Amino acid sequence: MLGALLLPLLAAGFTEARDSWERANERAGRALSGLSLEQKVGIVTGVGWTKGPCVGNTSPVPSIGYPSLCLQDGPLGIRFAKGVTAFPAGIQAGSTWDINLIRERGKAMGEEARGLGIHVLLAPVAGPLGKIARGGRNWEGFAADPYLSGIAMKETIDGIQSVGVQACAKHWIGNEQELRRETISSDIKDRELHELYMWPFVDAIKADVASVMCSYNKVNGTWACDSDDVNNRLLKNELGYRGYVLSDWNAQHSTVQSANGGLDMTMPGTDFNQPPGSIYWGPNLTAAVRAGEVPEARVNDMVRRILAQWYALDQDRGYPATTINSWNLTAGGPDVQGNHKNIARTVARDGIVLLKNDNNALPLKKPSSLAIIGEDAIVNPAGPNACPDRGCNTGTLAMGWGSGTADFPYLVDPVSAISRRAAADGTTLATSTTNDQAAGASAAAAASTAMVFINADSGEGYITVEGNAGDRINLDPWHSGNELVAAIAAVGKPTIVVIHSVGPIILESILAQQNVVAIVWAGLPGQESGNALVDVLYGDVNPSGKLPYTIAKSESDYPTIVDAPNDPFTEGLYIDYRRFDALNIAPRYEFGFGMSYTTFGFKGLDISSRSARGGNGYGNRNSSGIAAGPATGRRGPGGRQDLFDIVATVTATVTNTGRVQGAEVAQLYISLPSSAPETPPRQLRGFVKLNLRPGQSRKATFELRRRDLSFWDVALQEWVVPRGNFGVQVGASSRDARLTGTITV
C-alpha cells in the first residue's frame, strides 16, 4: 500500500519526460478531476469476455470524449479479423537482425490496428524469453537473448506507436512455459531477473511503451498481476515506467491486492472459468475504495496513466471508430492490408537462415528436374485458417497456434511458388505432398535433386495439438520428419531439407544422411512463405538471417519444462548460448549463425573511449569516458538515465569478399572483467546488418551504452561497471570471432 501511495510523488520527480507526455499527463489530470468514482472504475475494468467488439473493451466516458477502449491481439497481426496481413512471427523478425525491417513490420501492424479502430495492439512479446527450447510461445517473441529481444522490442514499439497506436509489452514476467502457467511460481533470483528477463522490458519502457501486460504465472509465490514487488517496486519505481499495467486475460486474482500492487486495468473483466459475475474490479473495486481498502488516489493514478497514454498517442483527435468485430468476422471493418505483403515477404525472406550448403548446392540454377516432398510444402487442404487459432499442424507451417495468431488472407505455399518458378525455368517437377515415405522416394527417384519439407509446431496451452499442450513434447520434427528425410536421402539424389519451425529442433539424424547437402531454416514466415523461400532458393536474394537461438546436438543441452509448483530457475544466467559457452557444450549451430552465398571479411577493429586500449582517444558521441562503479543518474523511463549514455564506440570494416551481393550481420560480444561476479563468457551487446556489393566495404559502428558494460549488483541493488579489462569480440556469430580487442576501465 505504501508503494502505491508513493508512486505519484516519484512519477512527478521524473524530469526527463517527453514534452508530449508531460502535456498528455496534465490533460489526463484535468480530465480525471471531473470523473465520478464509477466512471474511473469503468476505465480500469474490462466489460467482459465477448461483450464488446474487441478481445478487450472498457467503458466509455462521453463527457471527456473517451471511447470504449479497444484492445486486440496480437504480435504478428490482427487476430479475429478479415482483410488483415498475417505477418511473419516475432521470431522471424528477430532472425533478420535488421532493425529497419523490424520497425517497418511494427509500423505496418500499427497501421492495420489503426485502420480498424484498435486503440491498443497487444504486442510485442519479450516474455517468454525462451530459456526453455520446448516452450510453446517462444516464437511470439524475437530471440533467446535479452539484447536482441530488447532492440526488437524498441523498434517494434516505435513502429506501432509512430502511427498513433498504443503498443503493449508482454508478458511481464517469468512466463517461460505453458505447462502450469496459471499456477507455477517463477522463482527468479534478482540478478537473472535484471540481466535476462527484465532487460528487454527496459528497452520497451525507454521507448515509452503505452502499456505492459502482466503475466499468468506467480513470481516468488505471488501472482504477477497481484505483485507489488513486480509492478510497483520493479516496473514503476526502479524502471520509471509511466504507462499502465493491464492483466493478461484472467491473470488477476484479487480486488485489493492487485490494485495496491500496481495493476491499472483488468482484462477481460469477467472470469473465463468462473460463474458469470465473478469479477474482481468493477463494482467490487468501487466498494473497496468506499471501504478504505484501496485509496482513491490509487484509482486516480490508474486512470491518469491510462488517459495520459491515450492523449500522448493523440487518440483523442480523429482516431478511427472501432470497426473490428471479433465475434462476427463478416461484420468486421475494412480491408487494411494496403501493400503490407511487401514487408511481410521481406521479413520472411531476410529471416531465412541457411544452415548448410555443401558444394554450393544452393542457389538452384535452372535444374532440369526437382522433387518437392512433404506435406509441409502445401497449404492445409481444408484451408489455411481451417483450425481456430491455428490449432492444428496440417500442411505448411507459417505460424504457431494460440492467441498470438491472425487469419491468413492467403498463404503462398512452397509448392505453388516453386511451381511458378519451375515453369519459367523449364524445370520438371515431381511432387509428393504427404509424408508418405514410399511416395516421396518415387518422386525423388524421378528427379535430379530432392527437396524435403518438414516442420515443428507449438503454441499456447489452451489448445493441445497431437499431444503437444502448447509446449512441445520433444525437439524432433513432427510427422516422422526425420524418417521422411532418411527415406528420401536413401534414394541417392542430392537432398535439400527445408524446415519451418517454431524454435530449435535436433538435426543430428538429418545431418547423418550423407546425401543431405543443404538445410534451409525457413522459420515461421507468415502469408508470403513460398515467395520468400523462392527468393532465397534461387538466389534472387542472398540469405542473410542468423539464428536467434542455439540449435543443440541434444535436447538435454537446454533447460527443460518444469513439472512442479515452482520453477527455481536453477540455470541462473546460463540460458541459450550463455549456457553452451559456460559449460563448454558444442552446439550444432550456435546463436548468431547463418550462411550466405557470398563471403565476408572483417578488419580494422577500433575502440574509442577515454580508457580503451588501442583506441583513438575519446568517444565521438561523449567525452565523459567510462567510470567504474554504480550508475548514479536520475531515474526516468527505463531506469537510471546514465545507463543509456554511450560510453564507448567500436568500429570494424566488413567487406564482401565473394562474387554476389549479400548482407552480413556483424555481431559484437562483450566479456566482463574478472573483477565482476561470475558471468556468462560472452554476451551480445551490439549488431549491425550491412548490405554489400561484391568487393564493397562498409564500417560497422557499435555504440556501447553504460548498461552494456554493467552487471546487476545484488547487494548494491544497482547496475555497476566493473573495473578491469573487458573483452570485445566482433564477428559473424557468437562462436565466429573475427576481431578481438579490449576496453580497460
Ligand X SMILES: *[C@@H]1O[C@H](CO)[C@@H](O)[C@H](O)[C@H]1NC(C)=O
Q: State the residues that interact with ligand X by CB under 6 A.
A: 187, 189-190, 193, 219-220, 229-230, 255, 278, 280, 284, 328, 330-331, 621-622, 624, 642, 645-646
Nearer to ligand X, 235 or 510 (CB): 235
Residue nearer to ligand X on the CB measure, 68 or 622: 622
Please give the single-letter amino acid code of residue 517. Answer: V
Minimum CB distance to ligand X, residue 208 (Å): 18
Q: Which residue of the set 98, 248, 271, 457 is catalytic?
A: 248
Angle, helix 296-312 to helix 283-290, in steps of 10 degrees: 130
Min dist. Cβ of residue 429 to ligand X (A): 42
Using N-to-C axis directions, what is the helix angle for 481-489 and 437-445, rounded to 10°?
30
CB of 321 to ligand X, least distance (A): 16
Contacts of 533 (CB under 8 A, 6+ apart): 348, 349, 352, 414, 417, 418, 498, 520, 522, 525
Q: Enter the C-alpha cell of residue 395.
A: 500442411
* Closest CB 435 distance from ligand X, rounded Å: 37
- How many whole angstroms from its chain centre is CA 67? 30
Which of residues 332 and 592 has its CB atom nearest to ligand X in the complex?
332
Of the candidates 507, 653, 657, the residue with the CA atom closest to the CA atom of residue 593: 507
**CA-CA distance, 545 to 593, in Å (whole number)?**
8
Per DSSP, 103 falls in state H
Strand blocks (E) in 466-510: 495-501
Least distance from ligand X to the Cβ atom of residue 468, Å: 30
User: Which residues does 173 contact at the CB level (< 8 Å), separation at least 6?
Assistant: 127, 186, 188, 193, 197, 198, 201, 214, 215, 219, 224, 230
Closest contact distance (angstroms) between CB of 647 and ligand X is 8
Secondary structure, 3-state, 1-60: CHHHHHHHHHHHHCCCCCHHHHHHHHHHHHHHHCCCHHHHHHHHEECCCCCCCCCEEECC
Q: Which is nearer to ligand X, 182 or 190 (CB)?
A: 190
Bridge pairing between strands 711-713 and 718-721: antiparallel
Distance CA 266, CA 281 (A): 7
Nearer to ligand X (CB atom), residue 448 or residue 611: 611
Query: How near is the Cβ of 250 to ligand X at its closest, in Å?
Result: 12
Query: For residues 111 and 176, which CB has a smaller minimum distance to ligand X in the complex?
Result: 176
Residue 398 amino acid letter: A
Q: How far is CA 8 from CA 238, 363, 408, in A?
A: 14, 60, 44
Output the smallest distance, CB 550 to ligand X, in A.
Answer: 26
Structure-block grid coordinates of residue 44: 480500469
Q: Which is nearer to ligand X, 34 or 568 (CB)?
A: 568
Can you tell me which residue has the cell 540460458?
Answer: 575
Q: Between residues 278 and 464, which has the closer beta carbon with respect to ligand X?
A: 278
Instruction: Tell me whether residue 248 is one of the annotated catalytic residues.
Output: yes
Grid cell at residue 676: 565482476
The set of catalytic residues is 248
